[in-house]
Amino acid sequence: MNDQDKVQVTLKQFVRDWSEEGAGERQTCYQPIIDEILAHFPAHTCAPDDVKVLVPGAGLGRLAFEIARRGYTCQGNEFSLFMLFASNFVLNK
């Protein structure tokens, strides 16, 4: 994959993970994962911040963000330098 293709994939991921247009796809892909975490580690039986969740292939970090937003300790792991730069911009700027 050349650099232009990587930029194109990253821009598509922005739409999927962080735009209103991507909400349906996020709901379909991410919500079942979040629901399973909530079912296995409910806040009334454990401290969410004691639960550590790893998100491999984190892309632009939306799934990791949503898990962390619910109080769980979450770390995203991503191989693509393009995705890492873009996710740093989205999550830290």
Spans of all domains in the chain: 3-92
Q: For residues 3 and 85, is the Cβ–Cβ distance under 8 A?
A: no
How many CB atoms within 10 Å of residue 86?
Answer: 22
Q: Which pLDDT score, from 0 to 100, does residue 93 have?
A: 79
- State which amino acid sits at residue 30: Y
- Distance (Å, rounded) from C-alpha 12 to C-alpha 22? 10
Tell me if the domain spanning 3-92 has CATH number 3.40.190.10: no
How does pLDDT run across 16-72, given as a tens digit for each residue?
999 999 999 999 999 999 999 999 999 899 999 999 999 999 999 999 999 999 999
How does pLDDT run across 68-87, given as a tens digit for each residue?
999 999 999 999 999 999 99
* Alpha-helix residue ranges (DSSP H) falling in the chain: 3-18, 23-40, 62-69, 81-92
